[in-house]
Amino acid sequence: MNNVSSTAQAARLFDVGGRAFVVTGAASGLGLAIAQTLAANGANLLLLDRDEDKLKETAATLGKAATLCVLDVSDASAIQAAVDEFTFKRGTVDGVFANAGVSGGPGFGTAMGATLGRLQDQDADHWNQVLQINLLGVLHSMKAVIPAMKQARRGSIVITASVAGMQAESFVSYAYAAAKAAVIQLVHQSALELAPFGIRVNGIAPGYVRTGIANGCLHDPDVEAGLVRRIPLGRLGEPHEIQGLALLLASDAGSYLTGGLFPADGGVLLGTPVSNPSTNSLS
């Protein structure tokens, strides 16, 4: 196969041109990177975020393909109204990236978390706030697209989970880890229910990606140095490194993928590297 035809085949497989996607938490970090790749590949987007200023900045970089709505994902009726309007305009909704999330504070393994993030420090009101966004926000986003997807008998739902939902992680808060474990089960449970309707549900499980989460602490060189030792690829991820996976799950290239949880973690789930070239010279 020559280069031209293999390029054409790849373009066809991953084509999202003209399709309609909803992205939550689209103003920053991973949501922004997902929105950028979908827009660059010709999709129409409904971008949801609670940060109005950043959302407007995002939209300016994406052109006419993006419709914006400032809302909090814990508000089920606001999401439903925004998705209904978008679906009505576009005639359908092909996918949703339920991505918005917050860190819920430091984990017990961090300097601040050593006195704030222990099990004995856990507070029910605080948990409620985190779960309203990181768990119920995902549920509301999924429910909003289901009627149109069932009618169309197709659709792709992609949830941003975390490696922190899969293994113990002292860097993140208890409420965050619990919410991420819960959304992973939401992927499995809903994938089973929705498969007969042609609706695929998958999860992305990032490791440590340099975004605005946790007050931007992943941009702090000291924090980075502490984490890098635990990452087999020897570096933090960058938001754009999620784009290929997002496009795979959104497009027909992922047509037989459902109920999957796809780590994008530089190998974090493999365990601490025995030896890392960034900290130890190997011959």
Ligand X SMILES: NC(=O)c1ccc[n+]([C@@H]2O[C@H](COP(=O)([O-])OP(=O)(O)OC[C@H]3O[C@@H](n4cnc5c(N)ncnc54)[C@H](O)[C@@H]3O)[C@@H](O)[C@H]2O)c1
Give the rounded distance of the alpha carbon of 237 from its chain centre. 14
Scan for tokens 């087999």, then name that residue.
Answer: 232
Return the SS3 of 251: coil
Decide if 245 contacts 238 (C-beta within 8 A).
no
Residue type, 245: L
Which element (helix H / strand E) includes 90? helix 76-90
Distance CA 154, CA 196 (A): 10
Those residues whose C-beta lies under 8 Å from the C-beta of residue 269, and which sit 6 or more positions away, are 163, 166, 167, 205, 207, 263
> How far apart are CB 118 and ligand X at their closest, in Å?
21
User: Looking at the annotation, which residues are catalytic?
Assistant: 176
With respect to ligand X, which residue has the nearer C-beta, 155 or 239?
239
Q: Considering the complex, what minimum distance in angstroms separates the CB of residue 46 from ligand X?
A: 13
Q: How far is the CB of 34 from ligand X (least distance, A)?
A: 9
Enter the DSSP assignment of 253. G
Contact call for residues 156 and 97 (beta carbons, < 8 A): no
Smaller CB separation from ligand X, 41 or 173? 173
CA 183, CA 205: separation in Å to the nearest integer?
11
Cα 155 → chain centroid: 17
**Least distance to ligand X from the beta carbon of 109, Å?**
15
**Closest separation in Å from C-beta 159 to ligand X:** 8
* Cβ burial, residue 143 (10 Å; 0-12/13-18/19+): middle
Residues that bind ligand X (CB under 6 A): 25, 27-31, 49-51, 54, 72-74, 99-102, 133, 137, 160, 162, 206, 208-209, 211-213
Q: How far is the CB of 7 from ligand X (least distance, A)?
A: 30
Residue nearer to ligand X on the CB measure, 25 or 273: 25
Q: Which is nearer to ligand X, 22 or 100 (CB)?
A: 100
CA–CA dist 184, 192 (Å, integer): 13
CB 112 within 8 A of CB 86: no
Among residues 190, 180, 174, the alpha carbon closest in space to that of 135 is found at: 180
For ligand X, the closer of residues 99 and 110 by Cβ is: 99
| Closer residue to ligand X (CB): 175 or 194 | 175
